[in-house]
Amino acid sequence: MGMSFPAGRANARAVVYSSAERATFVRRTYALVFASILVTMAGVYAVASSPSLYDTVTRFGWLVMLFAFAPLLMIRGGQASATRSVAALGVFAFIEGLGIAPYMLAVAARSPGVLGQAALLTGATFGLLTGYAFVSRRDFSAWGQFFFVGLIVLLVTSLLTMFFPVPGASMFLAGATVLIFSGLLIFDTWRIRNSYGPDDYAVAAVQIYLDVLNLFLAILRILQGNRRS
């Protein structure tokens, strides 16, 4: 969806805690990520199984996505308790599922099987990049600002192409999205190892969730474009 949090307070300091606390934090973070993906799938299923909901989301998709910012800001602000942050992430993930459902259903109707291919490629990319970020000894702290600037440029370019269409722009933007969110995934995984505190798992989870979701949507656009050609 072209969203990500800017590099902020979580990477402004080094956080040191025990290996047991770190392991618990990592488990909680990735459990939330995978749970959020399942909740997003539930949102897609809700739209697919309800014609009235499908019509509503199709007509007011921009409003649906606008509502998603409320729980997102609650998580980012860090003012809510851990329980409320987890609940807010669930609400956000469900709304995301509602918002992307019409596009997903249209793709499934035009190109059967492409959703599964995109999911497999996203899963493989996620596994490889996450493993690299955990194993590598490199300092990825500078990647956050670099790729966030790239994200801003990508968003501006996407808006411009809406008013000034350019042939092939969609595939170019999808490829750029894959590169940017691959870099952000490595950076956010590095922050899980080095910057977040033990209670920041909701913030960490929403970062990884957004990286994975945007990767999936970009890969889906590329595969759909290849099917058409």
Query: Would you say residue 57 lies in a domain?
Result: yes
Query: Would you say residue 7 lies in a domain?
Result: no
State the total domains in the chain.
1
Predicted confidence at residue 12, as pLDDT, reads: 43
Domain range holding 78?
A: 17-228
Predicted confidence at residue 117, as pLDDT, reads: 96
Query: Would you say residue 69 lies in a domain?
Result: yes
- Intervals of the chain under pLDDT 70: 1-17, 76-80, 226-229
Query: Would you say residue 6 lies in a domain?
Result: no
Query: Would you say residue 211 lies in a domain?
Result: yes
pTM of this prediction? 0.87
Query: Would you say residue 214 lies in a domain?
Result: yes
Residue type, 27: R
Predicted confidence at residue 79, as pLDDT, reads: 57
Query: Would you say residue 178 lies in a domain?
Result: yes
Predicted confidence at residue 3, as pLDDT, reads: 57
Query: Would you say residue 31 lies in a domain?
Result: yes
Predicted confidence at residue 149, as pLDDT, reads: 93
Predicted confidence at residue 68, as pLDDT, reads: 80
Alpha-carbon distance of 171 to 181, in angstroms, equals 15
